[in-house]
Amino acid sequence: MTVANTQKFDAAKVEGIRQLHRILNRVQQSTRGFSGIGLVVYSDSNDLPISPLRNSYEEIQLPVIGWDKVELVIRQISNADSVFHDGFHFISMRGTLTHVSHYFAPPIASSSRALDFNVGARQRTAQLGSLLANVVATGVANLSHDVTIYSKGQRVELEGGT
């Protein structure tokens, strides 16, 4: 699937996907001790199948508003030494980081969907999570410097790069 400002994606969703791609690339390239990352851009946080992995988030002042500020926080917590590096981090499509280090448990889709195989659990979770109605896109980056973005269960390619 190619993302362009078409009928499938309104301008805010396109911007959210572009920012997701930008953050994933920058964080995985520049974070010392990078251990992989999973991000979710959503339109509505109600009914997201998530559960906190930490009993306290006092160290992080949420919400973080603005894509550049979100990137800075994501960069800080994507180091393997951070207690918040694990799980998925959730960003509204308007650029507000609302949840970090959460277990993300989307339902398993019907077998009629084309799933990616020979991938890890984080990537499968991202693909399945992107099928949720209130999820705009999901993205993962791994230690091999691969960045994958999903929307509606399909890999997303950006027109014109980042």
Q: Is the peptide bond before 63 cis (omega within 30 degrees of 0)?
A: yes
Contacts of 126 (CB under 8 A, 6+ apart): 38, 40, 88, 138, 139, 140, 148, 150
- The answer to whether residues 14 and 135 touch, using CB atoms and an 8 Å cutoff, is no
* pLDDT tens per residue, range 112-152: 467 888 888 999 999 999 999 999 999 999 888 789 999 99
Shortest CA distance to 121 belongs to which of 101, 142, 99, 135? Answer: 142
What domains lie within the chain, and their CATH numbers? 2-158 (3.40.1700.10)
User: What separation in angstroms does the CA of 76 have from each of 124, 143, 154?
Assistant: 25, 16, 29
Q: What are phi and psi of 15, to 5 degrees?
A: -65, -40
* pLDDT tens per residue, range 49-62: 999 999 998 888 99
The reported pTM is 0.90
